[in-house]
Homo-oligomer: A and B are copies of this chain.
Amino acid sequence: MKKANKILVTRLYRYRDAIYRMKYMGLVKVFSENIADAVGVTSSQVRKDFSLFKLSGNKRGGYVIDDLLKKMNESLGKNRTQDVIIVGCGHIGTALKLYKGFEKKGIRIVAGFDIDESKVTRDAKVPILPFQELSQFIKTKKIKIGILAVPETAAQQVLDQMVQAGIEGILNFAPMRLSHQENVVVNNVNLGLELETIIYFVGEIEKKQYEEK
């Protein structure tokens, strides 16, 4: 595999998702162009990405969905389920904890943690545990992935503690840049920023239409 490239990997997960949908629609074979249309890229982009990931099909015959998915699952890893914890069970944390959609992607939320004792629910199917138990839990259960949904003011400190205990990948909702060693993977979701850029481009569109008159 070539240099690990986030944008490329992200597209491959999108392709896989689209191909699963096609499978469930009853299709047996797909062409690069079908996948491209479903995901919103060009067919040469799909073929180039597949090429970089050593995913091959049949000249003229397209790709046999079951074979392709098998190979994709080998490279993208769907064979084992991944255990994930949520730190901060407020509004966002709770929404994620209750979401059913992660399971079918092999992602299992195994516990939440919160500093607020009143949120603790030990015997729920997915328990919320007190924050003091976080490090121990990560260590004994060998958890690698965590969702960080605490207030901005606590985020850096909580991240450090998670990493200290053994977490290697974090999905962060606090709208700020967190510092971390480069062997930790941090993806930021900044919803305010998403809205701001939408607002910007909506304004731009209006401006453009005006100019075109």
Q: Which positions in A face B, CB cutoff 8 Å?
A: 4, 6, 9-10, 13-14, 17, 38-40, 76-77, 82, 84, 91-92, 94-96, 98-99, 101-102, 105, 107, 144-145, 147, 168-171, 175, 177, 183, 185, 187, 189, 191-206, 209
Q: With the chains together, A207 CA to B193 CA distance in Å?
A: 33
Q: Which of B10, B14, B95, B168 is the one whose CB lies under 8 Å from A94?
A: B95
Does A39 lie within 8 Å of B105, measured CB to CB? no
Q: Which residues of B contact A204 (CB under 8 A)?
A: 4
Known contacts A82-B199, A99-B91, A198-B185: A10-B171 contact under CB 8 Å = no
- Seed contacts A13-B193, A102-B195, A189-B191; 10 additional CB < 8 Å A-B pairs: A9-B200, A13-B200, A14-B193, A17-B193, A82-B195, A170-B198, A171-B195, A183-B209, A187-B197, A189-B189
User: Could you list some 13 contacts between A and B, CB below 8 A?
Assistant: A6-B201, A9-B197, A10-B197, A40-B177, A76-B200, A94-B95, A101-B192, A105-B196, A145-B198, A145-B199, A147-B195, A168-B205, A169-B199
Q: Which residues of B contact A199 (CB under 8 A)?
A: 77, 82, 107, 145, 169
